[in-house]
A and B are shown apart, each in its own frame.
Chain A
Amino acid sequence: MADPAPRSIRYLRLERTGDSVRKQLAAFDQIRGVQGWMIGTGIGEVLFTTLRSTFNLRMLDDIGDHVARSGAGATNIEPANEVEINFSQGTVLGQKIGRGWLMIFCDPGADLAMARMTCSVAAAALSSDRSFQNALGSAVQSVMPDTTRG
């Protein structure tokens, strides 16, 4: 079992990305009920998080991957590129962004439509942004040097 994630994880060097990337991610701050976001590998490693909570972040990062895989297994289709998980205490939205996942954590009563659309727009922008993908690749490599998972 992995250790609880530290409160501040900054493997992903967002300062090496362009202003447009940071602007896309800052948009989540303006959405009602969005508690924060994180970028993870989808297999248990958190690369960046804005969450100031005591969640077991690695467990949450795992969720996206498990849901994506189980959905694919049940339907015999390609693994999902987006997930939405509803809990009694909130909703987690996830979208695949190249080698990572963008996960958005929402409170009950959040503007989910706005969060979903902002997530889609951000995921599209991050997936096609070379500076972001380079930073993401480096971050993935630093936490999982042996991975070949794309």
Chain B
Amino acid sequence: MATDLSITSQTVLRISSEGAAGEVHLSPEAWRVLTQVNGSRSTDEIATNLGIDPASVAKTAEELVRLGLLAIDAKPTTPIRTTVDGVFFENIEKEFVRVVGPIGPILIEEEIANLDESREKFPRDKVSSLVERVSAQIPDEKKRVNFQRIILQAIQGLR
């Protein structure tokens, strides 16, 4: 679906630096949409987060753009990989083995299987669940949090 301003489900919006020309009154839905705009979420993601219809979000976003509150991100969108590569698993494995020992790779494989996935085609949107499950196997809280800290940095590198 596209609106007059070409706002599609993949359009990324940001808060306009110019601002509105005058006094603005917002509907509750417009306010909710506005609170979700962070310069990286698509309108589709905003709709999912708010649990409302994507078309409704696009329409509201269009109005907010017209009011001067939002701007359409002009940056070209690069295709997003939907799976993670082997390098990511190597990093997890290396850090996990450092904490739990040589049983680490087996535990990771178990958790991948528990998520009904395979290492070769592991979806990116399940990475955080996998890391949380794997790290839950580390009984020492300090070591667990440190492992999470390292892997969270690796996850951020995926984006």
Contact = CB atoms under 8 A, between A and B. Distances in A.
Contact of A109 (B49, B128, B129, B142): B49
B145 A120 contact: yes
B51 A113 contact: no
A117 B135 contact: yes
Contact of A114 (B35, B41, B49, B128): B128
Interface residues of B, number: 25
Interface in B130-159: 131-132, 135, 142, 144-145, 148-149, 152, 155-156, 159
Interface string B77-105: 00000000000000000000000000000
Contacts of B152: 27, 114, 117-118, 121
Contacts of B159: 30
A110 B49 CA distance: 6
B50 interface: yes
A107 B128 contact: no
Contacts of A110: 49
A69 interface: no
Interface string A103-120: 000011111011011101
B129 A113 contact: yes
A interface residue count range (under 10 / 10 to 19 / 20 to 34 / 35 or more) = 20 to 34
Nearest to B149: A121
Contacts of A120: 144-145, 148
A114 B128 CA distance: 5
B40 interface: yes
A53 B128 contact: no
A113 B40 contact: no
A91 interface: no
Given A117-B131, A117-B135, A121-B149, A109 B51 contact: yes
A77 to B, nearest CB: 15
Contacts, number: 52
10 contacts: A29-B38, A30-B40, A33-B49, A35-B36, A52-B35, A53-B35, A113-B131, A118-B152, A120-B148, A124-B149
A116 B36 CA distance: 19
* Chain A to chain B: the 4 pairs with minimum beta-carbon distance, closest first: A113-B128, A114-B128, A113-B132, A107-B49
A101 B131 CA distance: 24
B132 A117 contact: yes
A110 B125 CA distance: 11
Nearest to A35: B35
Interface string B42-81: 0001001111000000000000000000000000000000
A121 B129 contact: no
Nearest to B145: A124
A10 interface: no
A30 B145 contact: no
A27 B38 CA distance: 12
Interface in A112-142: 113-114, 116-118, 120-121, 124
